[in-house]
Amino acid sequence: MKITLKIWRQKGTNDKGSFKTYKMDHASPDMSFLEMLDVLNNDLVRKGEEPVAFDHDCREGICGMCSLYINGRPHGPLQTTTCQLHMRSFSDGETITIEPWRAKAFPIIKDLVVDRTAFDRIQQAGGYVSVNTGGVPDANEIPVPKKIADEAMDAAQCIGCGACVAACKNASAMLFVSAKVSQFALLPQGQPERMERAEKMVARMDAEGFGACTNTRACEAECPKGIKITNIARMNREYFAAMLTNYEVEAGAGGD
């Protein structure tokens, strides 16, 4: 395959970036997209040029590292991770535009690499269970209806890749945060802290500079793990319940 690559190049967070054009005439249709970039980088190194920086790790579609905005879509033309995207999804002679995630909360580190530690800070704010339960009980001792267990597992599949943020016109992180809230809110183990969890994670999300959700469902359409926006509705219920509970507690304290 012969392809033309228009790739965003930027030396650092505070540097001015621009698109650079590269020609490839030996791309195999069976290459993954990341393998194609590996070949490009090998060619650049041989020419004494700086290779393109891009994120990747497991290359098995489960780590969420390979965050590339390809031809105007997160992860490219298929609803999958970039490492699972193959060059046969493109046409011979096609021009492919590759950009990093574009979001205020995801500052560019270099080229196609962005800083997504905002997601880590959101999870640190409340995406865990800290209640002291003593010894670890056998999972079968806490019966959970299959429907609830399936919904919790579906939410837990979120890999934190950030495609939802990149797809959203407002750079909203609602789908990611709602998945992390839901995976605990649905299960018995997550009940003691459910109110505090939703309140803290939403507050951290807002503090990080992510935008608001306007229900265009672009996040759901691009999520490689198929996370549903029904999780956003659940998170909103959890958050408003927490706010109402806090209001009632404060009102009661004032009355005393």
Encode pLDDT of 218-253 as tens digits: 999 999 999 999 999 999 999 999 988 875 555 566
Q: Is residue 249 located within the same domain as residue 148?
A: yes
**Averaged pLDDT for residues 161-179:** 97
If one counts the domains in the chain, the total is 2
Cα 106 to its chain centre, rounded Å, is 11
Q: What is the pLDDT of residue 12?
A: 94
- The CATH number given to whatever domain includes residue 45 is 3.10.20.30
Same domain? 57 vs 153? no
Whether 36 and 96 have beta carbons less than 8 Å apart is answered as: no
For residue 19, pLDDT beyond 80? yes
Residue 195 pLDDT grade (very low, low, confident, very high; cuts 50, 70, 90): confident
Residue 128's pLDDT is what? Answer: 86
Q: What is the pLDDT of residue 244?
A: 87
Q: Are residues 153 and 80 in the same domain?
A: no
Mean pLDDT of 94-101: 98
| Per-residue pLDDT tens over the stretch 56-93 | 999 999 999 999 999 999 999 999 999 999 999 999 99
Tokens in use for 244? Answer: 């109402």
Predicted pLDDT of residue 248? 57
Residues 146 and 173 occupy one common structural domain: yes
77 and 189 co-located in one domain: no
Q: Are residues 196 and 234 in the same domain?
A: yes
Instruction: Say whether both 123 and 139 belong to one domain.
Output: yes
| Model pTM score | 0.91
Give CA–CA dist 32/85, Å, rounded: 6
CA distance 169 to 166: 8
Q: Which of 64, 86, 110 is the last residue of a domain?
A: 110
Which of 83, 110, 137 finishes a domain?
A: 110
> Of 68, 91, 110, which marks where a domain is finished?
110
Domain that holds residue 106: 3-110
In terms of DSSP bridges, do strands 18-24 and 3-9 run parallel, antiparallel, or are they unpaired?
antiparallel
Q: Residue 243: which H helix or E strand, with range?
A: helix 230-255
Position 117 confidence tier, pLDDT thresholds 50, 70, 90? very high
